[in-house]
Amino acid sequence: MNETVETLLSHRTIRKFENKPVPEDLMHTLFEVAMRTATSRATQNASIIRVKDQAKRQRLAEIGDQPYQAKAPEYLVFIADCARAAAVLQDLGHDPATAGSLDYFREGFTDAVLMCQSVASAAESLGLGTTMLGSILNQPAETIAVLNLPQYTFPVLGLVLGYPNQSPELKPRIPQDLRVMTDTYRAPVSWTDALAPYDQEMHRYYDLRSTNQREDTFTNQIVKKMGEFSHKDSLLTAALAAQGFHLG
């Protein structure tokens, strides 16, 4: 097995980092990786905000309800960025509002996600640890304000990284035979029954891991996290509209 695959298969979320900076040349390399990431139709409608201001970091950590975020050596926010395209359209005599198309937002959103994953994987291959932060969208309008994001941009994912100061256990995943399908979607007669062995594995993981032990299972987490409509729906819809994106 080559080193790239080994790195990907050993991915862990790191929330504790050593108190030392990531060298600038290494960050430059990671940003170059980001620039080379696949992009929809070569439009490159994604950008990165490198958050250095401690007050901004603290506010983002409060939005994410995760204090450790503010202490990470590096805090990056990946954004869907159609503002650049809107400016080009306006300069060349076209309607910049078309940059707010839902389809173009989808492209920018996808580009930002891919860029974040590329940077995270590259960082881990270079001995760094990472955590992806969907929590920046707990309060999307607040995150937009903190980062002074213009029209036709939207925050997608945060990423904190640095040299790891912990080595957590590898978290089990749903097995391939339940997530890899051929030609069409295939579901078992009962997902709950099919997931029972995985529930047992996750129960052991939560019970025996070195920190934050608890009695829990995967299906219990699904009920806890997805048992009702998300309260964020209206916040996301309002923030997208305020940023100039047309939802239909």
Indicate if the pLDDT at residue 212 is higher than 90: no
Closest CA to 196 of 181, 180, 174, 213: 174
pTM of the model: 0.96
149 in the same domain as 38:
yes
Residues 110 and 193 in one domain: no
Q: What pLDDT score does 151 carry?
A: 98
Check whether residue 90 and residue 209 sit in a common domain.
no
Domain assignment of residue 10, yes or no: yes
Q: How many domains does the chain have?
A: 2
How far are the Cα atoms of 11, 21, 145, 152, 193 from residue 149, in angstroms, in the given order?
A: 31, 26, 7, 9, 46
The verdict on 183 and 87 lying in the same domain is no
Average pLDDT over residues 141-154: 99
Alpha-carbon gap, residue 32 to 49, rounded angstroms: 14
* Torsion angle of the four alpha carbons 108, 110, 113, 116, in this order, in degrees rounded to the nearest 10: -60
- Output the pLDDT for position 209: 80
Per-residue tokens: 77: 């926010």
How does pLDDT run across 66-80, given as a tens digit for each residue? 999 999 999 999 999
124, 213: one domain: no
With a pLDDT cut of 70, the percent of the chain lying above it is: 100
Residues of the domain holding 188 = 176-225
- Tell me, what CATH number does 30's domain have? 3.40.109.10
| pLDDT for residue 214 | 86
Across the range 88-102, mean pLDDT stands at 98
Note whether 228 and 201 are within 8 A (CB): no
Q: Are residues 138 and 56 in the same domain?
A: yes
Examine the pLDDT at 210 and tell me if it is beyond 80. Answer: no
Overall average pLDDT of the 104-112 stretch: 98
pLDDT of residue 167: 92
Asked, for residue 238, whether it belongs to a domain, the answer is no
69 and 14 inside one domain: yes
Q: Rounded to 5 degrees, what angle do the CA atoms 16, 19, 21 make?
A: 110
Query: Can you list the alpha helix ranges (DSSP code H) found in 126-165?
Result: 140-146
- In this structure, the answer to whether residues 24 and 106 fall within a common structural domain is yes
Does the structure show a pLDDT above 90 at 109? yes
Cα(191)–Cα(185) distance, integer angstroms: 13
| Burial (CB count <10 Å: 0-12, 13-18, 19+), residue 205 | middle
Same domain, 97 and 123: yes
**Do 115 and 134 share a structural domain?**
yes
**Distance between CA atoms of 9 and 3, rounded to whole angstroms?**
10
**Residues 11, 119: one domain?**
yes
pLDDT of 208: 84
Cα(49)–Cα(133) distance, integer angstroms: 14
Is the torsion defined by CA of 222, 136, 28, 22 positive or negative?
A: negative
Looking at the structure, tell me whether residues 152 and 201 fall in a common domain. no
Question: Above 90 in pLDDT, residue 211?
Answer: no
Checking if the pLDDT of 248 tops 80, the result is no
Note the pLDDT tens digit of each residue in 115-145.
999 999 999 999 999 999 999 999 999 999 9
Angstrom distance (rounded) from CA 184 to CA 192: 21
pLDDT tens string 159-185: 999 999 999 999 999 999 999 999 999
